[in-house]
Amino acid sequence: MRTLTPSKPSLSHEPQLKRNPSSAPKKRVIVISGPTATGKTNLSISLAQAVGGEIISADSCQVYRGMDIGTAKATIEQRSLITHHLIDVRDIKEPYNVAEFYKEAEEIIEEIFKRDNVPIIVGGSGFYVHTLIYGPPHGPASIKEVRKELEKQMEAFGPEVLYERLQLLDPEYAKTISEQDRHKIIRALEIMTISEQRVSDFPLPKETPEHKYDFRCWFLHFAKEKLYERIEARCEEMLSSGFLDEVKHLIKMGLKENPSACNAIGYRQALKYLDSAKTALDLQTFISEFKRATKQFAKRQFTWFRKEPLFRWLQMDDYPIERLKEIILQDFEQGHPLF
């Protein structure tokens, strides 16, 4: 691959991790994250073609067969160009969590290195990406009976009631999550039920762990106004591509039996609409809520990744895709930032 001599890119002023020199260089892994509708899929495929890479999806819902349109999953044609992993590996009724993702992603990374290829992690799930870099969260293993009872309570009383309970039991941890984040609320209450300890009592992973990989991490984004325009267009495109028909099919396959999947952005709003009288006003409300929830999720992604010291930010408005690719590839080849 040719060596590039780019001018210094103007990046967002985000925190940088101080790297300690190591006698034995670590194998490098490219990580591409960012909000929905930023073009992560196309850029990652172009990167993989240039560097001999294989893509690992870091998305909690792309693992499910049938959750295609609503998760903006890479198409069959795109996946035929580059090997993709952790896509379509579960039926909709099967549970899937971050611990399983960590274990399977680590195994896949090692397999990719054995083929002398480059692992490229792609996804906007901050929790999944963080876990891959720093290790799985501390806490007891899930117990099916406890989890099932908490999920029943969630359905009966809603997230606000269970979040209030969490605030009473562990106010410190409650401050770190949204009152609408059903999965994390349930997991926190499960941990405390099983361990009789607060979630905030468990030690956090080290901020600068000795990891066997050298993660080269990038957060792609647009200016807020443009990003929201792209999100609106993405939601409209999903609807015109048959998103509601996809949800109807998934209901038959057991979508409602999977608490995480049925509460995913878009799917939760679609299920609410499909259970309504489906009037014109109901449809208008669904579309509005779908777009608003997607924008709110993008906002949370910005908040999450601002706290991730390994990530450098690239504003997509500033560069054509080929220039972005050059910046990332030169950093990957040289093993140090260009700025």
pLDDT 10s digits, 168-183: 999 988 887 778 788 8
Angstrom distance (rounded) from CA 252 to CA 111: 36
What is the CATH code for 27-138+213-334?
Answer: 3.40.50.300
**Angle between the 267-274 and 280-305 helix axes, to the nearest 10 degrees?**
160
Name the residue with higher pLDDT: 22 or 67. Answer: 67
Query: 49-58, 113-122, 190-199 — which is least confidently predicted?
Result: 190-199
Burial classification of residue 240, based on how many CB atoms lie within 10 Å of its CB (0-12 exposed, 13-18 middle, 19 or more buried): exposed
Compute CA distances 111 → 80, 103, 117, 178, whole Å.
Answer: 19, 13, 9, 36
Topology annotation, domain 144-201: Histone, subunit A (1.10.20)
pLDDT 10s digits, 3-47: 333 333 444 444 444 444 445 688 999 999 999 999 999 999 999
Compute CA distances 208 → 30, 83, 228, whole Å.
Answer: 18, 31, 34
Closest CA to 74 of 53, 90, 56: 56
Q: Using alpha carbons only, how large is the chain's radius of gyration in Å?
A: 20
CB 27 within 8 A of CB 335: no
Q: Kindly state the percentage of the chain with pLDDT values over 90.
A: 68
Task: Give the position of tokens 């952005």.
Answer: 265
pLDDT 10s digits, 290-339: 999 999 999 999 999 998 999 999 999 888 889 999 999 999 998 765 54
12 phi/psi in degrees, rounded to 5: -65, 150
The full set of domain ranges for the chain reads 27-138+213-334, 144-201
54 phi/psi in degrees, rounded to 5: -125, 140
Q: State the pLDDT at residue 13.
A: 40
Burial classification of residue 116, based on how many CB atoms lie within 10 Å of its CB (0-12 exposed, 13-18 middle, 19 or more buried): exposed
pLDDT 10s digits, 126-143: 889 998 998 877 778 778
CA 14-308-54 angle, to 5 degrees, is 105
Name the residue with higher pLDDT: 220 or 339. Answer: 220
Sheet hosting strand 84-85, strand order edge to edge: 84-85, 53-57, 118-122, 27-33, 213-221, 311-315
Average pLDDT over residues 280-292: 98
* First-to-final CA distance of the chain: 21
